[in-house]
Structure 1
């Protein structure tokens, strides 16, 4: 019983530390993210997400470690944003320059529908091994990070990370070939 009380006190203390940091440093952290993104709405979302994740995490947090953790998370979120943005632009360019788009009478009928693209994606996923498929689906459809996938599937973090990387590469190659030809 004593351990449970202590852990509840630890959780309450952690939440207090995070709430105090949020109240005192929200604007500062938002400015940090804005300076790297130049997109105010995205910066606000990223900062909110950081604090939500901190409140949900099982990590031990103290007033000394929190600033480093917050800025590391912010930096990683900014990197993820730009990586995602780069992939979006790559595929947008790929679709725009595709040979199926031209000014002839084919028009809208020649562009892939969302259903067709989803079918192509599912065929690509079907070519994965069962374990790769599980990891990929949890990441893609459930938006689970690698750490959570590893826990759910009872894998080591590095195993889950490697399976996800291989699965992404295989599916990406399949989809690119299917859309190009």
Structure 2
């Protein structure tokens, strides 16, 4: 068994010496990156060492180039998938940023339109609408503050919301 292992190790060492440069140039031509090509050459010989029990002098060269071809295919598949994901993320980021900017402009315009319409409301209705919509006060709070009944406040809110809503529909 030791003799077979030594023979296999010698065979891999001989193949490394004979084909290292050819394997490197083959990989480099396919992927175009020197550092990655060197890494893949090392991976190919490490994988070849894993199969050393199966190696025979007449087939080791073909076995090595099959390993190299598979490593290059895996590398390129991973590389293009990574590029695809990066492009997808970049595209979504750009469209989201553009959408966010557009949304902000639209929201600001709508807010201006709402304030213009609110300013046209009668004084009491305007005061109640602003207290409810912008200050977050409830009908009961507004009624207590303005010395009105809750029902009166609710009626003013109902009418003012309806007027503002109809105006905003026309703006949109």
When you count helix as a share of all residues, which structure comes out higher? Answer: 2
TM range (shorter): 0.5 to 0.7
Match of 1:89 in 2: 83
| Deviant stretches of 4+, over 4 Å | none
In the TM superposition, residue 59 of structure 1 has moved relative to its aligned partner by 4.2
Deviations 1:39-82 (A, max 9, x none): 11111111111111111235410121111011111111111111
The question of whether the paired residues in 1 share the 8 Å contact of 2:12 and 2:48 is answered with: yes
The question of whether the paired residues in 1 share the 8 Å contact of 2:31 and 2:72 is answered with: yes
Pair 93,60 (structure 1): closer, same or farther in 2 beyond 3 Å: same
Which of 34, 38, 48 pairs up with 2:32? 38
Q: Report SS of the residue matched to 1:64.
A: coil
The question of whether the paired residues in 1 share the 8 Å contact of 2:9 and 2:52 is answered with: no
CA–CA distance in structure 1, aligned partners of residues 43 and 96 of structure 2: 38
Match of 1:102 in 2: 97
TM-score, normalization by structure 2: 0.53
The question of whether the paired residues in 1 share the 8 Å contact of 2:47 and 2:67 is answered with: no
Q: Report SS of the residue matched to 2:6.
A: helix
Gaps in structure 1 of 5+ consecutive residues: 1-6, 106-181
| Structure number, greater radius of gyration | 2
